Amino acid sequence: MDAFALPPAIDAALAGFLRTLGTLEGWLASPWLGLAWLGYVLVLAAWIIRQRREPVATLAWLLALAWLPVLGWAVYWWLGPQRIHRRKLKRLRARLALAAARLPPCGDPSEEGQERMIEAATGHAPTRATAIDLLTGGERTFDALFEAIEAARESVHLEYYIYEPDSVGTRLRDLLAERARAGVQVRLLIDGLGSRRCSPRFLQPLREAGAEVAWFHPLKLGHVLWRPTLNLRTHRKIAVIDGRTGFTGGVNISDTQSERASAAAFHDLHLRMEGEVVRALQLAFAEDWHYATGRTFSEAMHWPPLPIGDVRCQLVPSGPDNPLAPIHRVHVEALHNAKRRVWLMTPYFVPDAAVLLALTSAALSGLDVRLLVPRRNDNRLVRAAARSFYPELLDAGVRVFEFQPRMLHGKALLVDDEIALIGSANVDPRSFWLNFELSVLARDARVAARLAARISEDLEQSKEVPRGWQPSGLQAYTDSAARLLAPLL
């Protein structure tokens, strides 16, 4: 017997594998496969090009799907933009339903300038507030929010990206249940991905008390497989109490934002508002509520007459259903029109070409341009991508500061001495193009002065990146690599 002969079973298996390999090789060499692949690419190109996205994004998707036919198609199906059009149609039905309810008008139309641009892009006319209070930190926000809910007599409407079933979330749940048992109409809308830890068991006391709970793009198997919306989230933070008091900004319902729960809690900004602007906030919630549930609320108690006030402000909602990208547009337009200073605070800084050009142009024009970002970031990839922009910002004269004590989570833009933009949107592609976001533009010297004071205090706790700074060693490569993923972050 040959010393190197294989056992019969293994020999047969090996022979079968070789035959299969030969068949596969012949199939791959077949001209029909090439024709099938070419047809696939042509159909794919027609599909994607019709969406008229940015050329770089279009080419990236085409290459990914062409060279990875199965994996690339799966990624595009669940994370790509092809479902945005259908989301648009559904949200249009929500707007039509609200229009049919004949709700009271909100705001005074503007004929020109930035306010006209926002109204044309969003449908929200300029409004006024009797008061806009700037709340610093999660605990101050929770105290003000809980106090307003405790005093509610008719309705409490909440919408959040992150609602955690932790101590803060439990306190709020129990308070909402108590108000619902007292006859207050309670509606809670939470994002399916951001609030995925909220189990039916955790939410059951709310439902038993009579509150309505709904999910924005729920993570159900049918939704994930056939209505893929993993990339389309509501990142909004909205609270409207009795139709008279409104809250919005960057604070989620989570212990990570509570200074009582942790000394390392996120450092954030939020707004408490009264006056006519609250009706606009109620409209934004009503549209999202109808979009998620198919239900409207048009009772007079939800739309009480409100004092006009003297604080000029305007709601700026944005999302993938609006190709005009209002929040992105406001950033770019405000930066280009700045006359003296631009102070930008954001936890996630991954600017596109338009924002980067506007920032550097403002600095090259001699304006006081400052960028405040966190040194400690909960997303290392985003921090690395942000660092990759430092050299060109510094070369243009932008002053870059890194907040030292803890994670900076506030999102704000201060322009000159009268324009303040505060809300939920980061300066990154996800906030500008994919998430449903909400910001408030205040054109008021008092609000701007309070924001300037807040940013000034944060700058004192920050370390300025020296002009001429350059990444070195491995960091230079990791930052540059992270920047390549900027359109996806």
Active site residues: 235, 237, 242, 409, 411, 416
Alpha helices in 80-129 (DSSP H): 84-100, 113-122
For residue 55, the cross-strand partners are: none
Residue carrying the six token digits 């990154």? 428
CA distances from 309 to 112, 119, 133, 278, 328 (A): 21, 20, 14, 11, 28
Residue carrying the six token digits 């430092």? 390
Check if the beta carbon of residue 318 is closer than 8 Å to that of residue 436.
Answer: yes
Check if the beta carbon of residue 175 is closer than 8 Å to that of residue 206.
Answer: no
Going by C-alpha positions, the residue among 463, 406, 360 that lies closest to residue 257 is 406
Check if the beta carbon of residue 251 is closer than 8 Å to that of residue 164.
Answer: no
Check if the beta carbon of residue 77 is closer than 8 Å to that of residue 48.
Answer: no
Residues 6+ apart with CB under 8 A from 115: 125, 126, 314, 443
Report angle CA 207, 210, 216 to the nearest 5 degrees: 50
Q: What is the DSSP letter of 75?
A: H
CA distances from 431 to 69, 195, 322, 351 (A): 29, 18, 13, 11
**What burial class does residue 450 get, using C-beta atoms within 10 Å of its C-beta: 0-12 exposed, 13-18 middle, 19+ buried?**
middle
SS3 439: strand
Alpha-carbon distance of 160 to 176, in angstroms, equals 14
Alpha-carbon distance of 480 to 472, in angstroms, equals 11
Query: Token pair for residue 238?
Result: 């909205």
Query: Token pair for residue 404?
Result: 């030292």
Check if the beta carbon of residue 327 is closer than 8 Å to that of residue 318.
Answer: yes
Check if the beta carbon of residue 348 is closer than 8 Å to that of residue 427.
Answer: yes
CA distances from 195 to 162, 164, 202 (A): 5, 6, 12
The CA R_g of the chain, rounded to the nearest whole Å, is 26
Edge to edge, the sheet with strand 269-274 lists 131-136, 269-274, 245-249, 238-241, 155-160, 185-191, 212-216
